[in-house]
Structure 1
């Protein structure tokens, strides 16, 4: 089986540009790398591209200093998998939770399918339990029990 290393590198570059856009909180720049029919798959099911931008804006409003650090990125076929660390300060309302001013840090795992230089599908799993514990909404002992 032939592996097109140039295509794998190009796909990883798309993901790198998406992370860079997150780090400057530029949703319109992020959307340049999404196919208009991109689908995000999360714990609540599938979300179309038309809704993803709004969801990202709400997260940025709640955590305006968000920074994403790429721990690892692996490409195979048309998929790029990422292991990321997200750091931010809870400075705006989030999930109907008033700002706590707390610094948070959590893991985010993702996989993106890229076709023609555009993301057509995204799967993401965040360590939401750890995030909620850092916001003071979940007892830390519960988190230890789930580690």
Structure 2
């Protein structure tokens, strides 16, 4: 398989995760797409850096935002590493980080990189604009005092 073909195949795996797992709640597919030795190098607060921790995050997001879905703006692949820029959307219908449901529509941007080996996601690095998300939910975010 050429490097370009491998990159396209890896991008397809990441698109399936974004659309069918995160956006559709297909937890059986999650188990198929994620390697058992998956490592999240940037886990969200309160989550473990393994396959179980990532699944817990996905399920928490879908419980809080039942219509949770992403619009992928672009993807780039270098061999087995796929970088994706996307905007998540949803309606706040369940508790999220201690915030009771508000019914508000939210959106926030994310950039992540995921490694795909033999058709399975093995690693993740990501940055999500959670400050924007929490602000949209009405959280009172207080800056730490300057030292």
Give the TM-score taking structure 1 as reference length. Answer: 0.86
What is the correspondence of 1:98-117 to structure 2 with a 5 Å cutoff?
98-117=100-119
1:23 corresponding residue in structure 2: 23
Deviations 1:96-137 (A, max 9, x none): 111111110110110001111111101121100100111111
2:87 corresponding residue in structure 1: 85
1:129 corresponding residue in structure 2: 131
Question: What number of residue pairs does the alignment pair up?
Answer: 138
Residues 129 and 138, structure 1, Cα contact 8 Å, conserved in 2: no
- Which has the larger displacement, 27-36 or 126-135? 27-36
1:39 corresponding residue in structure 2: 39
The unaligned stretches of length 5 or more in structure 1 are: 143-147
Q: 2:73 aligns with which of 71, 93, 98?
A: 71
1:50 corresponding residue in structure 2: 52
- Could you list the structure 1 runs, at least 4 aligned residues long, displaced by more than 4 angstroms after superposition: 43-46
More strand by share: 1
Distance 2:40 2:140 in 1: 27
Residues 38 and 49, structure 1, Cα contact 8 Å, conserved in 2: yes
- 2:71 partner SS: strand
Residues 106 and 133, structure 2, Cα contact 8 Å, conserved in 1: yes
Q: Tell me whether 1:6 sits opposite 2:5 in the alignment.
A: yes
- 2:41 partner SS: strand
Residues 81 and 116, structure 2, Cα contact 8 Å, conserved in 1: yes
Alignment RMSD, CA only? 1.8
